[in-house]
Amino acid sequence: MVNASTLYPRSNAARRADILDGLWRFAFDPKSEGEAAGWTKALPAPISMPVPASFSDFFTTHKERDYVGDFWYETDFFLPENYPEKVFVRFGSVTHRAVIYCNGVEVARHEGGFLPILADVTAAARRGQENRLTVRANNELSESTLPCGTQKVLADGRKISKPYFDFYNYSGIQRSVFLVGTPAEAITDYSLTYELEGADALVHYSVEGGGERSIRVSLVDAEGCTVARGEGRTGTLRVENAHLWQVRNAYLYRFVIEAGEGYDRYEEKVGIRTVRIDGHRILINEKPVYLKGYGKHEDSDILGRGFSWAVAKRDFECMKWTGANCFRTSHYPYAEEWYQMADEEGFLIIDEVPAVGMMRSTHNFAAAGTGQYTYFFETPTVPELLKNHKQQVSEMIARDKNHASVIAWSLFNEPETTSEYARNYFSEVFAHARTLDPQNRPMTGAFEKNSAPDKCRCYDLCDMICLNRYYGWYISGGPEIEEAEEKFRAEMDKWAEKKLNVPFVFTEFGTDTLASEHKLPSVMWSQEYQDEYLERNFGVFDSYDFVQGELVWNFADFQTTEGIMRVNGNKKGVFTRQRQPKDAAFVFKRRWESLPEDYKGQE
Ligand code: EVA
């Protein structure tokens, strides 16, 4: 059973969650012969491998670091006799796809590298004994799975990946793994929606699971006082003088669910807040907010895309120091712990599905803006791609719907959007997505330069239009920067003429900048150039009232595939990969600390 419950694993009197992270065993399987050779029972000659982490950056050879194909992980776990009735193993993610075995028996398979896998091992695992957990994973890219890309086979038979996207194809078990025990008829899901009534809040809830048992819910404030109680699997709680979750000023209640008399229990921290778009404005708790922040990656030295609380903590501290209030989970849903931290910190998240590379180019960043038509949605792989895309949208919204921090769903990054094929494809994706979120949060996607006001056939699907623009970098850079600004303004004037009654947010703008380079007058790649470019962009943003946010590309330098356009990775970070500020960080700090939270929000 896969994804039977999306709930984050938690321990209490009724359920258990034991972390299985640590040193696992690992083997490459370039010929995909492990299954036939009995690797599901025991890996022959495995090496050790830390979990969670990407496997790549531990290695010292190209063959291993850049490995593409099947690879296996294995560990053993002890299942206590007195563990709850149902037993699962839950992976935060396995990139990009996996088959899970317990004691040699297949218990789950899952497509997609950035969302959880829940494997029911109740029948396969033995109580009071050690059990073997085995994962056959694969990190190949294709045009029918997300994210999109392809492989090249080298003369020696070795495969290397050719992503249609600009980040390294990090893979492995990159997030935590839990052994989970629940009652047989456990609570499997809940949803909350909010309404404000004067000083009070109405919290509408619904709960799934628990069999036929009675369901009781309560809300407990930060002091530990129960402020509202309800009975039944759906209902409304009234919170008098509600303490709202505000931007960069979070307040969290505990939402507690009980099934039967102590039969099952689940609780989570939740924030009471509303999200709504009103014309050009983004309203949180009916108050306008201007988005200030970053496009990010899960990316750091050694760990690759592996989740680390320590890295996440540093990232939040750096973001807060610059006065940011928002980030986009470019270009895939991040580890759940990021959203938990954002809930605590009052950060806003634009949550993105891994629909990136939907443009046939291994240099998407260079193809963007050339004006060339990049064909994508007229190929035979599209039905399969669409199926996977919808599935991942479903899984993302199911996983993240209860986070106060999530204010919008991004359903793509920079696809081809100018053809009728693209229009049909995305109409289906949006129609599907619009059935899923109980809170009806805004739906959007990030458009590259070819998605111009007179050419794009998809922008009207969005509740908020997100633009990735590099005027002064990929277009008219260096001495032509003056011209870049003119071109930028010309495009914005065209958007303005359309009189679209929606907010626009810049989800990307930036320049590659080496932390080592200084030059007066500025040249491209120097810190001075990054600052100059930013100031010009700010001038454009400030000229249009409908621009309601700016998320710079990128928070930090990050690893990409090798190439002549990349210097050991993408250097558009405002911070280095080690999370130290470039000069631009001070530029943002000055600007964002001086912009009011409701900048351009007055009617
Ligand atoms: C860039 N531009 O060129 C970025 C990419 C990003 O890293 C884009 O959305 O248009 C992409 O992934 O630096």
Candidate of 148, 164, 165, 166 to mutate for ligand 1, largest count of ligand atoms within 8 Å of Cβ: 166
The residue whose CA is least distant from atom 3 of ligand 1 is 365
At position 450, the amino acid (one-letter code) is: N
Catalytic residues: 414, 508
Å from CA of 469 to ligand 1 middle: 9
Å from CA of 298 to ligand 1 middle: 15
- DSSP letter, residue 148: B
Å from CA of 256 to ligand 1 middle: 41
The residue whose CA is least distant from atom 4 of ligand 1 is 365
**pLDDT tens per residue across span 499-558:** 999 999 999 999 999 999 999 999 999 999 999 999 999 999 999 999 999 999 999 999
CATH architecture of 16-182: Sandwich (2.60)
Question: Ligand 1: which residues within 6 Å by Cβ?
Answer: 165-166, 331, 365, 368, 413-414, 448, 468, 508, 553, 570, 572
Listed in sequence order, the residues at least 6 apart from 84 whose beta carbon sits closer than 8 Å to its beta carbon are 14, 15, 16, 181, 182, 183
What is the C-alpha to C-alpha distance for residues 380 and 311, in angstroms, rounded to an integer? 41
Distances (CA, A) of 442 to 44, 64, 70, 340, 530: 50, 42, 38, 20, 31
Å from CA of 366 to ligand 1 middle: 9
Candidate of 167, 353, 365 to mutate for ligand 1, largest count of ligand atoms within 8 Å of Cβ: 365
Superfamily of domain 187-273 in CATH is Immunoglobulins (2.60.40.10)
Residue 302 in tokens: 């050694």
Residue 91 in tokens: 């992976």
Q: Residue 432: which H helix or E strand, with range? A: helix 420-433
Å from CA of 365 to ligand 1 middle: 5
> Domain residues of the chain, as ranges?
16-182, 187-273, 288-594
| Alpha carbons within 13 A on the beta-carbon side of 275 | 26
pLDDT value, residue 401:
98
Please list the ranges in the chain whose pLDDT falls under 50: 1-3
pLDDT value, residue 360:
74
Residue 252 in tokens: 């969290």
| Preceding amide of 52 cis, omega within 30 | yes
The residue whose CA is least distant from atom 1 of ligand 1 is 365
What is the C-alpha to C-alpha distance for residues 597 and 252, in angstroms, rounded to an integer? 21
Listed in sequence order, the residues at least 6 apart from 340 whose beta carbon sits closer than 8 Å to its beta carbon are 8, 269, 403
Å from CA of 390 to ligand 1 middle: 23
Largest CA distance in the chain: 73
| Alpha carbons within 13 A on the beta-carbon side of 290 | 22
- DSSP letter, residue 508: E
* Contact (CB, 8 A) for 530 and 478: no
pLDDT value, residue 359:
85
How many residues appear in the chain?
Answer: 603
Place of tokens 């984050």: 8
Strands of 166-316, DSSP E: 177-182, 187-197, 200-209, 215-220, 226-231, 234-239, 253-259, 264-270, 275-278, 281-284, 287-288, 291-295
pLDDT value, residue 1:
35
Nearest atom (ligand 1) to Cα of 368: 10
**pLDDT tens per residue across span 151-188:** 999 999 999 999 999 999 999 999 999 999 999 999 99
| Topology (CATH level 3) of domain 288-594 | TIM Barrel (3.20.20)
Candidate of 508, 555, 567, 572 to mutate for ligand 1, largest count of ligand atoms within 8 Å of Cβ: 508
The residue whose CA is least distant from atom 12 of ligand 1 is 166
